[in-house]
Structure 1
Amino acid sequence: MMTSSADALLAGNRLTLTDYRAKHFLWSVTNGVATITLNRPERKNPLTFESYAELRDLFRDLVYATDVKAVVIHGAGDNFCSGGDVHEIIAPLIDLPMPELLLFTRMTGDLVKAMRHCPQPVIAAVDGVCAGAGAILAMASDMRLGTARSKLAFLFARVGLAGCDMGACSILPRIIGQGRAAELLFTGRAATGDEGFAWGFYNRLCAPETLLDDAATLASELVAGPTFAHGITKKMLHQEWSMSIDEAIESEAQAQAICMSTRDFERAYRAFAAKARPVFEGD
């Protein structure tokens, strides 16, 4: 039987986020699917210092959340996100000394790290403008649904910055290939929805009016699956980028052995034997 100290330790590393009250975007949780809505449609949903920090902290907390099994992120209105707010972020940055600029760029990079390290699959539902830091949010997600009118643009070169922002030079080539990534990062041009789909940035294109529902349906399908194992899959997809083939095979052997010790693995077998559909519970 678990000791009271062990109970306390586990309790201290569990969170429920259904009732979380976001300050700088909208947040809701329904049947294990969390929805983040960037909610400044009159400005095409730009990010601020505060929304960057709150998103970073929320994705960090998701590591311990017991009630969130998948995340959908989208923008209110007809656009995903126009990037960092020109007046609330870009203008103040001009006057900051380099050490403080480095604090900011590390903070924005920490948001991507938090998205990559939370165990929940993250699905970006991208309509309209998806630019700058907004393009990074979509890139850092595990899957992306777009529309024909999606406009993907890594605008950094157009404001005098390098394209190597928030992990773009590492992650983007792995999604769309080195040459295509180089083109977008050097030129800052917008890729159409059709281009993004053909290049593999979007998993599929949806009608604008069904985009959010399609993303929620995909998220619900993932929630109905073996969510503990999904977390392992996400971890290995990220972790194996820096491994040799031999290291990856050994790591996957260890990861799969862990998954074989779960109740979900046993449930799947018993359901198969009974010619029934397994009901996974994530343990």
Structure 2
Amino acid sequence: VDPEVRGVVLTGAGRGFCAGLDLRGYGTAPHTEHLGRTQAGFAVQRHIASLIPALRSLPQPVIAAVNGPAAGGGFALVLGSDIRLAARSAKFNAAFIRIGLSACDIGTSWLLPRLVGAARAQELMLTGRVFDADEAYRIGLVVDLLDDDALLDAAIAKAHEIMRNSPFGVALTKEGMWGALEIPALQNAIDMENRQQIMASATADHREALAAFAERRPPRYTNS
């Protein structure tokens, strides 16, 4: 991971965000030449699904700027991002179930209920229906709804807003927020937060933030 990169904006090239897998062929995964058909297919599935944990493990925040359709695997990419903005042209669906597969794919069964609640997630996944940007905003899937020509600028502006904070503080916050979704009890979350705060308080960037606040100037972070 390039430490000079402070944030990632994920958007589609062209008229759509991502329509998911090419139904004419799912491609291959490395080192599967010697495997049987089922085993090779499973390797491809795992290879594709590994993208979502990879997004989550990045220390930088990932902002999805959803332009046009986000279906199937593209929908999962939206769910796996840290912040989601949508153009008014955006459309979403858990498309896997529409082609005879389970809607539970590439992390969707874990991510969607945590973003919109279990009841709404069940309905969206069991039907596989397409829903628009207005509904995505209404159910809390996306945090902002924008005109298409303003979407990318808004996503970049959001990234710059996050960059006003220290890189270590941002990375810890992202890690802690995702981790808290898996922590079973309040005290476990507090224990994690306590460790994060002690680590962050020992950094030069924390001292710089305090000095900048006292001197009424923007902080100059060095990720140290």
TM-score by length of 2: 0.91
Q: 1:223 deviation in Å?
A: 2.2
Q: 1:189 deviation in Å?
A: 0.6
Q: 1:135 deviation in Å?
A: 0.5
Instruction: State which of 105, 108, 113 in structure 2 corresponds to 1:168.
Output: 108
1:222 and 2:159 correspond: no
1:280 and 2:217 correspond: no
Partners of 1:281 and 1:222 in 2: CA distance: 15
Instruction: State which of 242, 246, 249 in structure 1 corresponds to 2:187.
Output: 246
In structure 2, the residue matched to 1:11 is none
Q: 1:127 deviation in Å?
A: 1.3
1:119 and 2:59 correspond: yes
In structure 2, the residue matched to 1:204 is 144
Structure 1 vs Structure 2: percent identity of aligned residues? 34
Over residues 216-262 of structure 1, what are the superposed CA-to-partner deviations in whole Å (9 max), with x where a residue is unaligned?
Answer: 11112222321111000111111122222111101110011111111
Over residues 92-114 of structure 1, what are the superposed CA-to-partner deviations in whole Å (9 max), with x where a residue is unaligned?
Answer: xxxx7221121111111211110
In structure 2, the residue matched to 1:263 is 204
1:109 and 2:49 correspond: yes
In structure 1, the residue matched to 2:31 is none
In structure 1, the residue matched to 2:18 is 81
Instruction: Identify which of structures 1 and 2 has the higher relative contact order when contacts are C-alpha pairs closer than 8 Å and 6+ apart.
Output: 2
Q: 1:88 deviation in Å?
A: 3.2
SS in 1 for 2:105: coil
SS in 1 for 2:4: coil
1:141 and 2:78 correspond: no
Q: 1:142 deviation in Å?
A: 0.3
Partners of 1:257 and 1:110 in 2: CA distance: 31
Q: 1:279 deviation in Å?
A: 2.8
- Matched AA of 1:149: S
In structure 1, the residue matched to 2:125 is 185
Over residues 193-216 of structure 1, what are the superposed CA-to-partner deviations in whole Å (9 max), with x where a residue is unaligned?
Answer: 000001111110111011111111
SS in 2 for 1:87: coil
- Matched AA of 2:176: M
SS in 1 for 2:173: helix
**Runs of 4+ more than 6 Å apart:** none
Q: 1:121 deviation in Å?
A: 0.1
Q: 1:191 deviation in Å?
A: 1.2
Gaps of 5+ in 2: 28-35
Is 192-201 or 237-246 further displaced after alignment? 237-246
Q: 1:278 deviation in Å?
A: 2.4
TM-score by length of 1: 0.73
Aligned length in residues:
215
- Matched AA of 1:74: T
In structure 1, the residue matched to 2:30 is none
Gaps of 5+ in 1: 1-61, 91-95
